[in-house]
Amino acid sequence: MKRTKIPLAPYLFLLPNMVVFSVFIIVPAGYNFYLSLFDTSPFRPAEFIGLGNFLYLLQKDDLFRRALENLVIFVAGDVGGMLVGSVIIGLLLNQKVKLRGFFRSAFFYPVLLSPVVVALVWQWILNNQFGALNALLTTLGMKGTPWLLVPHWSRFWSIFVHLWATLGFYSLIVLAGLQSIPAELYEAALVDGADRKQQFLYITFPLLLPTLMTVLVLSTIRGFEIFDHVYILTGGGPGTATLMMVQYIYRAAFQMDQFGLAASASFLLFVIIFLLTVVQYALGKRREAI
């Protein structure tokens, strides 16, 4: 019987990337899990406590629960907004209008900005005393609001600013998906008398679903990792109204010197994102099979 030769070359080409991936992702992730099993302090050797940190986080730590709750609210709002917003903008950018190129660039520009710059600018716009938004409202005869000092407004603006900064990226993905839908389908639909709403519901949306699954997966992962925009904009405040998981981890490690606790929170976040990704992937596969 002829033995099949396993080609070596592809694996050799993948090897450098796998080495880098192992060194910068696998090894630190492994060490993170190892660290999460210890109670650490700068003044004594680390003490092995097994799952003690995880039990503490899940049963006793109100700030961890608060961060998780805030994160779920943020992701729900952010991902929902991203899906709806990217479809609307994608549809608009797909129209044959003058200066279409300019509009496509304009929607993408915020994506190129540093999150720190975005958050600082919006912090200035939303400032209670000197912000541009309150100044505009006052000029129009309305009362200003301490936007970043009221919990529900602070949460709203955290989501809004993140959407503003990243929607352009997902809109381009949706635009690419829209452009891959054959034009003949719309022509045939027109011939059959389908209006724009029916065209959207029966052609655009079903064929755009795989693209939307990509947007859903990417935006969910990015949502759970949120840190920079919110940390600069609100600092997690007012109080802990916008305290997110990565900020909790940062605080536990660098402000409270509890590296073991921070590592366990980090591991739990990884598990949440991993499970969500697996579920979304499975749903996507099931849809393809259908």
Give the binding site for other proteins (CB under 8 A).
7-9, 12-13, 15-16, 41-43, 62, 128-129, 146, 149, 151, 231, 234-243, 247, 250-251, 253-258
**Which residues, at least 6 apart from 222, have a Cβ–Cβ distance to it below 8 Å?**
166
Phi/psi at 194 (nearest 5 deg)? Answer: -75, 135
Q: Which C-beta is closer to other proteins: that of 103 or that of 250?
A: 250
Cα separation, 210 vs 270, whole angstroms:
25
Nearer to other proteins, 204 or 258 (CB): 258
- The residue among 89 and 233 lying less far from other proteins, judged by its C-beta, is 233
Minimum separation from the CB atom of position 8 to other proteins (A): 6
- In sequence order, the 6+-apart residues with CB closer than 8 A to the CB of 143 are 137
Element at 249 (helix H, strand E): helix 245-254
Q: Which is nearer to other proteins, 108 or 160 (CB)?
A: 160
Name every residue whose Cβ is closer than 8 Å to that of residue 227 and which is 6 or more positions away in sequence. Answer: 244, 246, 247, 250
Q: DSSP state, 149? A: G
Is there a contact between 274 and 281 (Cβ–Cβ < 8 Å)?
no
In angstroms, give the least distance from the CB of 140 to other proteins: 21
Judge whether 208 and 173 are in contact, CB under 8 Å. no
Q: Smaller CB distance to other proteins: residue 32 or 280?
A: 32
Least distance from other proteins to the Cβ atom of residue 56, Å: 9
- Least Å distance, CB 258 to other proteins, is 8
Residue 32: other Cβ atoms inside 10 A: 16
Task: Output the smallest distance, CB 237 to other proteins, in A.
Answer: 4
Q: How many C-beta atoms surround the C-beta of residue 229 within 10 A?
A: 22
Q: Of the two residues 42 and 141, which places its CB atom closer to other proteins in the complex?
A: 42
Output 137 or 185, the one with its CB closest to other proteins: 137
The dihedrals phi and psi of 145, each to the nearest 5 degrees, come to -130, 140
> How many residues in the chain?
290
28, amino acid identity: P
The answer for residues whose C-beta is within 8 angstroms of residue 223's C-beta and 6 or more apart is 71, 74, 75, 78, 79, 162
Q: Tell me the closest approach of the beta carbon of residue 188 to other proteins, in angstroms.
A: 48
Compute the least distance from the CB of residue 267 to other proteins, in Å. Answer: 19
Q: What is the smallest separation between the CB atom of 264 and other proteins, expressed in angstroms?
A: 14
Q: Which is nearer to other proteins, 62 or 192 (CB)?
A: 62
